[in-house]
Structure formats: C-alpha cells, structure tokens
Amino acid sequence: MGFDCRGSFANLSRMKFPRFFSLLIVATVFAFSLRAADKKLTVGFSQIGAESAWRTAETESIRGEATKRGVNLRFSDAQQKQENQIKAIRAFLAQGVDAIILAPVVETGWEPVLKEVKRAKIPVILVDRGINVSDESLYTTLIASDFVAEGRLAGEWLAKKLNGKGNIVELQGTPGAAPAIDRKKGFEQAIAKNPGLKIIKSQTGEFTRSKGKEVMEAFLKAEGKNVNAVYAHNDDMALGAIQAIEEAGLKPGTDIIVVSIDGVKGAFEAMVAGKLNCTVECNPLLGPAAFDAIEAVKVGRTVPKKTIVKDEVFDQSVAMDVIGSRKY
C-alpha cells in the first residue's frame, strides 16, 4: 500500500488554507522542540577550589554526572577567590551557556553578577553553600546540607562525650563561608546548654589540612594540657590537628577528643585508628541532583527553591563497619 502523494496534495489543497497553516506551525514547533530537546547542554561550573577531600569529591561527582549525561561542562577552579568566580560566571555568560552551577565561596557580594545572569535568563544552580541576596530570584535553586544542624549534632555528641564539662578549641572554616558561619552557630547552640563546656580558642583553618595543623600547633603552644577537645568545621582541618596533637606528644582521640564534619574516607580511617572520635557527614555527591534540576528547568518544570541533603553522625563505634561502604 504505497504513499499516494497525488491524493494527499489533493487533500491538502481541499483543506481550508488556515488549517493547513496551523498544521504547518505545529509541525515546525514540534521539529524545533525535538531539536532543542536533543541539543547537547553546555553548563558552566564555577568551583571554589580543591581545599579538601570533600571538595574534590564534589567536583568529581559533578564532572562525572556531566559526562554520564553527555553535557558539555565548562569547569573553572577559583582557587578560593570570589573575584575568580565572578570572572568565570561572566565568561560563561559570554559563552552563552545553558545553565550555571555555582559553589559560592562566601555568602555575600553576588548580586551584581547574578543580575547579569538573570537578564540573560540563564538558570543558576547553587551547590553546597548558600548566598545572601535581597532578591531570591537571582538563583534558581540551592542543593546543600543544613550546616547549623551539622554544628548542633557535633556539639551534642561532644557534650555527651565530655559529660558536659571541658575546654574546647575550634577550627573554623573559610571566613564568610556559609558552612563556617552556620557550623559555628549550631555548635554554640548545643554548647550553650552545657555551662561546663567552654570554647577557649577559635580561629580559621581555612578548611585545609595544613592550616588546621598550623593553628592547632598554636592552640597547643598557648593552652597545652588545658585543651580537652577540638571541634573542626571539616575533616581535613581535624586530620591536620591530629598531626599537631601527636607531634606535641599527646594522644588524639584520648588525651584530646577530636570532632569534625564531612565524613570523608580519611576521617573514617582516623576513627578506625582511634585518633578521630566523631564526624558528622556532609554529602558532596551533588552531581545527580544538580543536573536533575537543570534538566527540569530546561523543559519548563519548576524546581524547589531549596533541597536539603540528609546527613548522619558517625563515631568510632560504627566506623569499622561503615568504612567499606563509603563512596567518598
């Protein structure tokens, strides 16, 4: 049964001229959306840097997911500098990317560049750190953990371990960064309930192992055996502090209790070795959720303004059982 073109053109010509045109328009729109749907997405990813094992795991998760989904990813490492992230976002704008993934190093200073992105109607997916803006429409969605809750969980665990009594030194994250501000707030909320617990020293270790070691050395020099515990805003700083404690001839995990946040493999190894006591997980594997959000926005679906990733507390009592199943 061949295709009778003469018959169909006859039908077409008998068709009322407007109906034919509307069919033509529908067909054209359909063809375009097919083409739009299978057009390879280009996404710009402005990453903070590689300051910790956690950050590297996040980068790998986003890069890996881009490859899996055939997305053309433009990656920029800002070396911890906001001005480099702003430069990268302007470059992505000039390149006409389809979407931008941003891990903002600090909370403030984003309004001018995000206004430019909004004018270009390019969706902005914030990963792991939030920002302070007067107009929330300057970003599409935030995918992150609840840092205040993480700090509170660490504080509650330590308060129990120390029976509500002791001197704590705190290694803070990058000044002005959402996790540093909120993990401090949450921890102090938990400590405030225990008058016997005191934060005697608190300083930034910039989320790095080397700075964590350096600052802990200074704390030990200043306070010596007066220190009962160290609270680090991330595992990398805690691992640096453990080195400093050992070099000071003390036993980390025993003489000085060590609590931190992230849940990276190195932290589990230190817990199994008895040197770290507890870590509060902060999941860096945000690639799938970030690209789900981009794909949803690209086909006109709405996405929640905020997606909070669930975290767990791990201490030495479970470390050996869990370490084998850790993905980062």
Q: Name the residues that contact ligand GYE, by CB under 6 A.
A: 51-52, 54-55, 128-129, 179, 207, 234, 236, 261-262, 282
Q: Provide, rounded to whole angstroms, the least separation between the CB of residue 71 and ligand GYE.
A: 22
The residue (of 65 and 311) whose beta carbon lies closer to ligand GYE is: 311
The residue (of 73 and 144) whose beta carbon lies closer to ligand GYE is: 144
Q: Provide, rounded to whole angstroms, the least separation between the CB of residue 109 and ligand GYE.
A: 17
Q: Provide, rounded to whole angstroms, the least separation between the CB of residue 22 and ligand GYE.
A: 52
Compute CA distances 288 → 18, 47, 64, 149, 292, whole Å: 46, 16, 9, 23, 6
Name the helix (H) or strand (E) containing 45: strand 42-47
Element counts in the chain: helices (H) and strands (E): 12, 12
The residue (of 42 and 56) whose beta carbon lies closer to ligand GYE is: 56
The residue (of 145 and 228) whose beta carbon lies closer to ligand GYE is: 145
CA distance 236 to 238: 5
Compute CA distances 227 → 156, 184, 189, 255, whole Å: 18, 18, 20, 9
Interior CA angle at 99 toward 97 and 105, to 5°? 110
Q: Provide, rounded to whole angstroms, the least separation between the CB of residue 144 and ligand GYE.
A: 7
Question: Which letter does DSSP use for residue 308 in this model?
Answer: E
**Helix H segments across 39-102?**
53-68, 82-95
Helix axes 209-223, 235-247, angle to 10 degrees: 40
Q: Provide, rounded to whole angstroms, the least separation between the CB of residue 316 and ligand GYE.
A: 20
Q: Provide, rounded to whole angstroms, the least separation between the CB of residue 287 and ligand GYE.
A: 15
The residue (of 129 and 213) whose beta carbon lies closer to ligand GYE is: 129
Q: Provide, rounded to whole angstroms, the least separation between the CB of residue 164 and ligand GYE.
A: 27
The residue (of 173 and 253) whose beta carbon lies closer to ligand GYE is: 173
**Helix H segments across 274-315?**
287-298
The residue (of 156 and 262) whose beta carbon lies closer to ligand GYE is: 262
* 222 contact partners, CB below 8 Å, separation of at least 6: 201
* Strand arrangement of the beta sheet that strand 72-77 belongs to: 72-77, 42-47, 99-102, 124-127, 141-145, 306-309
